[in-house]
Amino acid sequence: MLKKNVLITGGSKGLGASIAKKFAENGYNIILNYNKSTKEANLLKKDLEEKYKSKVLLVCADISLENEVKVMIDTIKKEFNSIDILVNNAGIAIDLPLEEKSADQFMKVISVNLLGTFLVTKYATTIMNKGSIINISSTNGIDTGYIESIDYDASKAGVIALTHDFAKYLAPKIRVNCIAPGWINTDMNKNLFDDFKKNEIQKIGLKKFANCDDIANVVYFLASDNANYINDAVIRVDGGYFE
């Protein structure tokens, strides 16, 4: 039986690494996209190969640049011929007070989070005959935004819009769904002020931030045949957040 191939953008650390491990332990070939985290990508590749005997391909690309995305997909095609699962996970945040946020910073976040998701999906689907795409948005793109993350929030709302459009365009061969996590214990959130974090935890029904594995489990479910009738869905994974 041929192994399936999963491409994970921003796959070298944090949530991306947890997603990679989940697919590796279930017998997938792993394609890890990364941009600057070369050391982390190589360590994760070694770990996945040793623990799970997975075939792991590292592909360095800035997903906000169209030519680099094209080269990435060409590289994957030469190595694996096709992609079965795409997880659009890569994302950045530049949280600043509104008066300090520049147009260049705003556009950088939009370029990676939104344009990057569009570009990878556009070119990855040229080598996907069927399968599943899971986009990682955020509850910030729905109803939990902050003025300091206005660019991030807008980008994640855009990812949800992309999900709806691609789900219609790619059906019935490729399912497209979206996960909107709430707070996760990742490097992106490691510098939160203690009082702010405590206050946010009190708004979560389960009284804790998610671990990366909590989100990775939902990603894997959506990719699996157990979710074969789920398409164009946006699933909140936020522990029951309420104001």
- Taking residues 141-159, report their average pLDDT: 97
Contact 134, 142 (CB under 8 A): no
What secondary structure letter does DSSP report for 205?
A: T
Q: How far apart are CA 174 and CA 222, in angstroms?
A: 12
Answer yes or no: is pLDDT of 164 > 70: yes
Percentage of residues of the chain with pLDDT beyond 90: 92
For residue 203, give every residue at least 6 positions away whose Cβ sits within 8 Å of its Cβ, in sequence order, or none. Answer: 241, 242, 243
pLDDT value for 44: 98
152 catalytic? Reply is yes
Residue 1: pLDDT band (50, 70, 90) is: low
Closest C-alpha to 80, from 134, 128, 13: 128
State the catalytic residue, choosing from 152, 169, 220, 229. 152
At 55 the three-state DSSP class reads coil
Answer yes or no: is pLDDT of 238 > 90: yes
Over residues 176-226, the pLDDT tens digits come to 999 999 999 887 777 788 888 898 999 999 999 999 999 999 999 999 999
Q: Can you name the residues that pair with 176 across neighbouring β-strands?
A: 133
Over residues 107-149, the pLDDT tens digits come to 999 999 999 999 999 999 999 999 999 999 999 999 999 999 9
pLDDT value for 2: 76
Q: How far apart are CA 134 and CA 236, in angstroms?
A: 13
- Give residue for tokens 């080598």: 127
Query: What does pLDDT average to over the chain?
Result: 96
pLDDT value for 35: 97
pLDDT value for 232: 98
pLDDT value for 192: 81
Contact 93, 147 (CB under 8 A): no
Contact 8, 22 (CB under 8 A): no
- Taking residues 28-34, report their average pLDDT: 98
| Residue 97: cis peptide before it, omega within 30 degrees of 0 | no
Least confident of 13-22, 44-53, 182-191, 208-217: 182-191
- Taking residues 28-57, report their average pLDDT: 97
Neighbouring CB atoms inside 10 A of 187's CB total 9
Q: How far apart are CA 62 and CA 125, in angstroms?
A: 18
Percentage of residues of the chain with pLDDT beyond 70: 100
Q: How far apart are CA 139 and CA 164, in angstroms?
A: 16
